[in-house]
């Protein structure tokens, strides 16, 4: 997006190259490039650093930087109105700063709206050795080229490539691409390099980045919350459908329940009939079998059958020793599967207890 | 949406996020609770369906088994609830007995009626005689449970609570 007032948030603004001067600055490896660039600009520029829009690009070897700067007042308030909201503001000459450098000395030119940009390459550096933008009158190009060759020492046979038309900007994953419309020239910049190229005030830029990061976090949180709310809405919609479907299944189950209950009752009754046909409760036969082994001191107070084969007896005796003998005698009965004495208590010489006697299944009431 | 959100002031953005979070905090637990309840209900309905499926799959076997069991009975000797009541009343003649019908279980082919006989202050010989008369009618009339207790004040005198069942053959419907 070329410098204008209507700049949507997050856009990349291309400032006209016409107002920028470009210089190559050697870099020392022992201090940060940004500080060296600012120091060099203070020496190069007649204006204080605070009155300049400036940025720079370093070559691949890190041996020198191409610094570009423009006097702030050279830009109207209307031109810079949208820069605050922009993601990145770079001069159009950035087209030359991320390109694949030619292996031979060459001059690349682009003309648009009467303004011609020129980049001269020495065939060794990854950055141009000279960049300039001029409005040329007809017939002035050759003289300019001669001047450039003279200033840069490029041979007369250095190739010249030309392109025309506006630049296009696109994002390719995490790379910003600036290219001519027809694709003759193209520069690619990783996101980490864009802060160097951005011409705005560096401290304001850092604040902008902070705000952008905060906005990004807020937006992601908001979007995530909206997505979760949408998921809740979907879940509730699905639950409404699920409840309706479940109600139909429940109604079907309720319809079938009486039939299932009848089958279950028939099963129970059939089982009981089969049992009744072959087996029956024999309370008096059980009582007689147990009574045969009863010591004389033991008296039964209550006997109760439990199921087909078990008899629970409440009894008492004045001789606690007979309880042990009685239990032993019952265990010797071949018809008895299990004997258990429960809750024996002695009070005033009388011992009370409960006796559980379980006869073997199939016992027919015969003797021991 | 993103453009709308980012175009708001910082304060509005924070407020919008706060409102959305409050909405989510209110809605999400309820929606998740409803989801859990639906899953539990679904589990319960599935369990009931599975039980019913098992019963239906065994229906033919159970009916065949019931038919076989009923086939072993002589319909002329079976007793309905009233007949059982009358018969027990007759058998308990001479005893201080109280007879009460309790419940009936029915299938399509037969019914099982339960009657409770409570005998107070009887001697053992009378109770044994009563029991033997019931046993003589087995399996159409038989003892299901019996409880005997001694009268502490009068040696040799017993009280009995005897639960008796009777089988009734039912005429096929229709």
CB contacts, 8 Å: B66 with chain A = 266-267, 269-270, 273
CB contacts, 8 Å: B13 with chain A = 215, 218-219, 222
Q: Which range is least confidently modeled, A1-15, A81-95, B5-19, B39-53?
A: A1-15
The CATH superfamily label for domain B75-169 reads Ribosomal protein S6/Translation elongation factor EF1B (3.30.70.60)
Residue of A nearest to B55 (CA): A260
**Could you tell me if A301 lies within 8 Å of chain B, comparing CB atoms?**
yes
CB A110 within 8 A of CB A95: yes
Tokens of A174: 């995490």
Q: How many CB atoms neighbour CB A64 within 10 A? A: 18
B119: pLDDT strictly greater than 90: yes
pTM of the model: 0.53
Q: How many CB atoms neighbour CB B5 within 10 A? A: 17
Helix boundaries (H) for chain A: 33-44, 77-80, 141-152, 191-197, 202-278, 283-292, 320-331
Give the pLDDT of chain A (368 residues) as one tens digit per residue. Answer: 444 455 665 689 999 999 999 999 999 988 888 899 999 999 888 888 889 999 999 998 888 999 999 999 999 998 888 888 788 899 999 999 999 999 999 999 999 999 999 999 999 999 999 999 999 888 899 999 999 999 999 998 889 999 999 999 998 888 999 999 999 999 999 988 888 999 998 887 888 778 888 888 999 999 999 999 999 999 999 999 999 999 999 999 999 999 999 888 888 888 888 887 778 899 999 999 999 999 999 999 999 999 899 999 999 999 988 998 999 999 999 899 999 999 999 988 899 999 999 999 888 876 55
Closest-CA distance of chain A to residue B11, Å = 11
A275 Cβ neighbours under 8 A, 6+ residues apart? A308
Q: What pLDDT score was predicted for residue A205?
A: 80
Closest-CA distance of chain A to residue B84, Å = 16
The partner residue sitting opposite B150, judged by closest CB among A273, A276, A300, is A300
CB B122 within 8 A of CB B165: no
Q: How many CB atoms neighbour CB A245 within 10 A? A: 12
Tokens of A338: 């299990």
**Could you tell me if B56 lies within 8 Å of chain A, comparing CB atoms?**
yes
Torsion of CA B43, B47, B52, B55, to 10 degrees: 160
CA nearest A164: which of A115, A237, A112, A207?
Answer: A112
Q: Is A171 helix (H, G, I), strand (E, B) or coil?
A: strand
Q: Is A248 helix (H, G, I), strand (E, B) or coil?
A: helix
Q: What pLDDT score was predicted for residue A8?
A: 65
Q: What pLDDT score was predicted for residue A3?
A: 45
Q: What pLDDT score was predicted for residue A9?
A: 59
Q: What pLDDT score was predicted for residue B27?
A: 94
The partner residue sitting opposite B31, judged by closest CB among A223, A232, A256, is A232
Q: What pLDDT score was predicted for residue A15?
A: 93
Q: What is the CA radius of gyration of chain A?
A: 51
The partner residue sitting opposite A269, judged by closest CB among B20, B66, B150, is B66
Give the whole-angstrom CA distance, residue A145 versus residue A155: 11
**Could you tell me if A269 lies within 8 Å of chain B, comparing CB atoms?**
yes
Mark A126-159 as b/e (b = at least 16 C-beta within 10 Å): ebbbbbbbeeeeeeebeebbeebbeebebeeebe
Q: What pLDDT score was predicted for residue A62?
A: 84
CA nearest A192: which of A306, A98, A76, A316?
Answer: A98
CB B134 within 8 A of CB B91: yes
β-pair type (B110-123, A350-359): unpaired
Q: What pLDDT score was predicted for residue B161?
A: 96
Tell me which residues of chain B, numbers 107 to 126, contact chain A at a CB-CB cutoff of 8 Å.
Answer: 107-110, 112
User: Between B174 and A233, whose confidence is greater?
Assistant: A233
CA nearest A343: which of A321, A314, A308?
Answer: A314
The partner residue sitting opposite B56, judged by closest CB among A260, A268, A283, is A260
Do residue B147 and residue A256 have CB atoms under 8 angstroms apart?
no
Q: What is the CA radius of gyration of chain B?
A: 33
Total length of chain B: 174
Q: Is B149 exposed, middle or buried (0-12, 13-18, 19+ CB in 10 A)?
A: middle
Closest-CA distance of chain B to residue A171, Å = 18
pLDDT tens string B125-142: 999 999 999 999 888 899
Tell me which residues of chain A, numbers 319 to 348, contact chain B at a CB-CB cutoff of 8 Å.
Answer: none
Closest-CA distance of chain A to residue B35, Å = 7
Q: What pLDDT score was predicted for residue A10?
A: 66
Mean pLDDT for all residues in chain B: 89
Q: What pLDDT score was predicted for residue A7?
A: 62
Half-sphere CA count of A364, side-chain side, radius 13 A:
2
**Could you tell me if B65 lies within 8 Å of chain A, comparing CB atoms?**
yes
Closest-CA distance of chain B to residue A45, Å = 38
A328 Cβ neighbours under 8 A, 6+ residues apart? none
**Could you tell me if A364 lies within 8 Å of chain B, comparing CB atoms?**
no
CB contacts, 8 Å: B128 with chain A = 284
Give the whole-angstrom CA distance, residue A64 versus residue A62: 6
Give percent of chain B above pLDDT 90.
61
């Amino acid at each position: 997006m070329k410098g204008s007032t209507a700049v949507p948030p997050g856009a990349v603004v291309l400032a006209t190259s016409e107002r920028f001067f470009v210089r190559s600055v050697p870099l020392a490896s022992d201090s940060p490039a940004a500080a060296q660039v600012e120091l060099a600009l203070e020496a190069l520029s007649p204006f204080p650093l605070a009155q300049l829009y400036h940025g720079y690009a370093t070559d691949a070897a890190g041996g020198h930087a191409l610094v570009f700067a423009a006097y702030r007042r050279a830009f109207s308030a209307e031109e810079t109105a949208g820069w605050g909201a922009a993601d990145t503001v770079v001069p159009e000459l950035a087209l030359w700063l991320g390109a694949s450098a030619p292996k031979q000395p060459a001059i690349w030119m682009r003309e648009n709206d009467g303004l011609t940009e020129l980049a001269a390459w020495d065939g060794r550096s990854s950055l141009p050795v000279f960049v300039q933008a001029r409005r040329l009158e007809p017939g002035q190009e050759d003289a300019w080229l001669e001047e450039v060759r003279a200033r840069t020492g490029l041979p007369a046979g250095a190739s010249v490539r030309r392109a025309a038309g506006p630049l296009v900007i696109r994002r390719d994953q995490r790379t910003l691409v600036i290219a001519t419309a027809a694709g003759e020239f193209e520069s690619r910049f990783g996101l980490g390099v864009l802060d160097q190229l951005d011409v705005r005030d560096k401290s304001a830029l850092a604040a902008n980045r902070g705000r952008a990061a905060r906005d990004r976090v807020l937006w992601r949180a908001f979007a995530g919350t909206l997505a979760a709310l949408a998921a809740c809405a979907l879940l509730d919609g699905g639950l409404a459908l699920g409840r309706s479907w479940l109600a139909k299944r429940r109604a079907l189950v309720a319809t079938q329940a009486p039939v299932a209950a009848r089958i279950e009752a028939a099963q129970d009754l059939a089982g009981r009939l089969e049992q009744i046909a072959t087996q029956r409760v024999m309370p008096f036969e059980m009582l007689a079998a147990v009574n045969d082994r009863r010591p004389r001191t033991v008296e039964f107070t209550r006997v109760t059958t439990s199921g087909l084969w078990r008899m629970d007896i409440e009894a008492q005796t004045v001789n606690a020793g007979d309880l042990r003998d009685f239990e032993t005698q019952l265990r010797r009965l071949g018809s008895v599967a299990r004997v258990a004495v429960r809750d024996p208590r002695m009070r005033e010489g009388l011992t009370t207890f409960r006796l559980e006697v379980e006869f073997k299944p199939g016992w027919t009431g015969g003797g021991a | 949406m993103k453009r709308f959100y980012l175009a708001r002031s910082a304060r509005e953005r924070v407020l919008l996020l706060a409102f959305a979070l409050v909405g989510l905090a209110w809605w999400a637990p309820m929606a998740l609770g409803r989801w859990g309840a639906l899953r539990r209900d679904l589990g319960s309905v599935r369990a009931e369906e599975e039980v019913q499926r098992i019963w239906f799959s065994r229906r033919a076997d159970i009916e065949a088994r019931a038919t076989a069991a009923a086939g072993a009975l002589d319909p002329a000797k079976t007793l309905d609830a009233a007949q059982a009541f009358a018969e027990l009343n007759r058998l308990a003649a001479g005893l201080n007995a109280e007879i009460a019908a309790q419940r009936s279980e029915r299938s399509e082919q037969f019914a099982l009626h339960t009657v409770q006989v409570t005998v107070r202050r009887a001697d053992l010989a009378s109770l044994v005689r009563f029991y033997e008369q019931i046993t003589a009618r087995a399996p159409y009339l038989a003892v299901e449970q019996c409880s005997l207790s001694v009268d502490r004040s009068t040696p040799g005198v017993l009280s009995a609570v005897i639960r008796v069942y009777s089988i009734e053959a039912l005429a096929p419907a229709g």
